[in-house]
Chain A
Amino acid sequence: MLSPADITAQSRPAPEGVATRSVRSPVCRAAGLTLAAMARLLSGASARWIASQPDTCQRVYFANHTSHLDALVVWASLPQPVRELTRPVAAKDYWSRGMLRRWLAEEVFDALLIDRTDIKVHQSPVDLMLREIGTTKSLIVFPEGSRSVTGEVGEFKSGLYYLAKKRPDIELVPVHIDNLNRVLPRGEFLPVPLLSCISFGPPMWLERDEMKADFLSRARRAVLALKE
């Protein structure tokens, strides 16, 4: 059996310069700060850290998915030094539509856009994510895959499990998003400025010999536990 270090070494991307972005321009940095402040103001998001601390170590934040604003608001709720190192995974079909959205996603909040319609066997999203984050960046993912209509947290897809398996050294942090689906529900364009809450839970890891289904349901329960 491979030790975690071996697995890490194997899955770590080889090409230089892919993982670490070049230094962002001051305009993009300023736009990033403004965007984060606006997102927090608009969504009235308050961040809670429950038995957990913000940290710049490599992490995967996994959250329930309720609104197009999720990726942006979770990212904006992180403290600035952590935010700099964190890339939300977002749907390519939504975020690459139109000049503004694409600029925001690619340059300002540095999203990792995944094409949900074109998933190939040899180019799985998990491999792409691991290659993009290298050894320094963190990710925000939504393991349900798509936004829930009812506000209930759906079953988790297996991507999170493979992430955890290929990079056992990364901390997995459960995140619960509350009330954001009322700020911008599915199918709506204009947001209503209600109040929302982003809760970060204690980090977890894939246990030795833990089965995929067990791990995914444990991860889902960790998100639900933050609901209270």
Chain B
Amino acid sequence: MNDLHTVVLVTGVLGLLLVATAVGQFLARRSDRGVDQGAVRAFNQRLRGWWIMGGLLAVAFWLGVTATVTLFGLVSFWALREFITLTPTRRGDHRALFWVFVLFTPVHYVLVAYNRYDVFSVFLPVYATLFVLARVAFTGDYTRFLERTAKIQAGLVVCVYCVSFAPALLQLPTGTTAPGSGNFRLLFFLILLVQFSDAMQHVWSRLIGRRLVAEEVSSNRTWEGLLGSATSTALLAAALWWAAPPYEPWQAALAGFVIALLGFAGGMTMAAIKRDRGVKDHGTLVVGHGGVLDRIDSLCFAAPVFYHLTLAVSRAAATPLTGG
């Protein structure tokens, strides 16, 4: 990982974080200047989240592929705990849930670690689904059967399956070269863009937000925020195209645009689930548990699409188009 691209990327992000932290601390210390202290606190809280996230990622990257996959596996496991805790389940779901937690989630991540795309791409959406349906049926409790099994299924797909595409990027063959440090940059690129689009969405909604997307679900996500964030993320992605190996600048811009749209969709989805359960922001049905799910909702939706986009882009790069 000692190549120039990685050094520039890491130094740049570290520098930005340092500057932002300095500004945040500066603003937090002057309460007299009519700055919105609530916004400053939210900003500083978000920065703290980024420091933690960046630190964990740095350590995992340094330790290698297995450690990074394990880190994402633990994040998935914790997010699934939050998801199922948030969702009402019945006694009849207990044994299906047990296997979902102790068997399906870990095995899925082992398959990701061994890069068995042919197996892990169907393991949860097909086999885990069939198992959950059958196991719940075997308990004899048929009350709201489809509703209950769908909840477990949704939790598995969003918290485990989708998130796992982020570390799967590490072993994606990008063009001619074998997977290497470029893949770590790809993963970092994805996470950076997801976080950036999330922050931009808030900024644009605050600056020019007028039309809410769905007031009942989220009171601060606007169409202006969505478009502004997608455009800014596309620009940043285009500027950073050199960091993501198979991408050309225009492809990177497209990827940034798509990541922002999906991140937004993920945020809306999580907001809808929380609203349904009567939990407000940074949801805690069980008090005292800050949301891992809140942190990764955008990543859940963006990761699989970015994975397949990268796959398509690197295939196109490997077989140059022969003009018709």
Contact = CB atoms under 8 A, between A and B. Distances in A.
Interface of A: 44, 46-48, 178-179, 182, 185, 188, 190-197, 199, 228
Nearest to A191: B98
Interface stretch (B125-133, B180-188, B257-265, B283-291): B283-291
Given A192-B101, A193-B101, A46 B81 contact: no
Contacts of B198: none
Nearest to B289: A195
6 contacts: A47-B288, A48-B287, A192-B84, A192-B94, A195-B286, A197-B288
Q: Please list the 4 inter-chain residue pairs (A to B) with the smallest Cβ-Cβ separation, ordered nearest first.
A: A46-B288, A197-B286, A195-B85, A192-B97
B91 interface: yes
B95 A190 contact: yes
Contacts of A44: 81, 85, 286, 289
Contacts, number: 48
Interface of B: 81-82, 84-85, 89, 91, 94-95, 97-98, 101, 285-289
Contacts of B97: 192
A199 B101 CA distance: 26
A182 B289 contact: no
Given A193-B81, A195-B85, A185 B94 contact: yes
A66 to B, nearest CB: 13
A197 to B, nearest CB: 4
A178 B98 contact: no
B91 to A, nearest CB: 6
A196 B286 contact: yes
Contacts of B98: 190-192
Nearest to A180: B286
A155 B89 CA distance: 25
